[in-house]
Amino acid sequence: MIKNASLPLRKFIFLFAAFICLLPFMDAPLALILGFLVSLLIQHPFKEYQGKLTSFLLQFSVVGLGFGMNIHEALKVGKEGLVFTIASIFFTLTAGILIGKFLKIRKNTSTLISAGTAICGGSAIAAIAPVINADENETSVSLATIFALNSIALFLFPVLGHLLSMDQHQFGLWCAIAIHDTSSVVGASSKFGNEALKIATTIKLERALWIIPISLVFALINKKSGTGKIKIPYFIFLFILAIVASSYIPAIESVSEHIVFLAKKGLTLTLFLIGSNMSITALKAVGIKPLIQGVLLWILISVGSLLAILWM
């Protein structure tokens, strides 16, 4: 352990580990593990930049992936996933709130875990927390719960996909529906295959747009529409523009392969940063009841969507 090492040494270790993530053999799950190991070894030397850099890299990566897609295929995939998206969001929100009441979890914590599972993980929690006036502890517990399950999904889903002999389309759809955060959806689906990655990214971002109407609903329920600021995920519109540009502009189409390569490396680095922000203390602070709610919801949506996809 070198937690108390000098700042220059900690910066060197951190940047060297980040550089390793850019090497050809590194993928998203390995980058997450490396980031977590770094968090155990040293104090984060760039803590003040962590949030903004992670958010920027994730958005850059998602938009970059759009340059590898075709608009007609994306529209077809989005249309196919729309019914799954609507049904799963409302089912998960309803089930989550009922489970939260049964376990006697604080209302705001239960709402945030339900919304994070139903829509898009940490982004949904960040958007809805101010709308329902959630405090820092409620938000932190919800984020830690969702993040812990995201980390498991990143490793578990590709293995299950192969064991169940799922094809690229099935696995991409399953990832988009059953994994919470966009980063883990893209990471797990990229591990499975390029076609799964395209499908998962498109449907997940379609799902993320539901942050807006769901936030408005919670604002009305909590009568805080004038005080809570709704965070709209504007980068999704850039993702759509990237798909359109790569489909209709020959000059962009000729370099799209290189942009997608950079986007995938950006995603790997994003997972490293997410892992480096993990800590045993934060995971222990979650508590058993919110974790039970998160696990039960995750099982419901994972198994339910899997059966529906396999029987389609």
Ramachandran quadrant class, 40 (left: phi over 0; alpha: psi -120 to 50; beta: rest): alpha
DSSP state letter for 164: T
pLDDT at 225 over 50: no
The predicted model gives 114-127 an average pLDDT of 83
**Band of pLDDT at residue 228, cut at 50, 70 and 90:** low
Tell me the per-residue pLDDT of 38-77, one tens digit each, with 9 for 90 and over. 888 888 888 888 878 887 887 888 788 888 877 877 777 7
Amino acid identity, position 25:
F
Q: Is the dihedral of CA 76, 115, 214, 242 positive or negative?
A: negative
What mean pLDDT comes out for the span 182-200? 89
Of the pLDDT bands very low, low, confident and very high (cuts 50, 70, 90), residue 113 is very high
Number of residues assigned to the chain: 312
Q: What is the pLDDT of residue 248?
A: 86
Quick one: tokens of 293?
């709610």
Q: What is the pLDDT of residues 9-47, one digit of tens each?
A: 888 999 999 999 888 888 777 887 888 888 888 888 888
**Percentage of the chain modeled with pLDDT above 90:** 22
CB 236 within 8 A of CB 208: yes
Question: Are 172 and 195 in contact, with CB atoms under 8 Å apart?
Answer: yes
Q: What is the pTM of this model?
A: 0.74
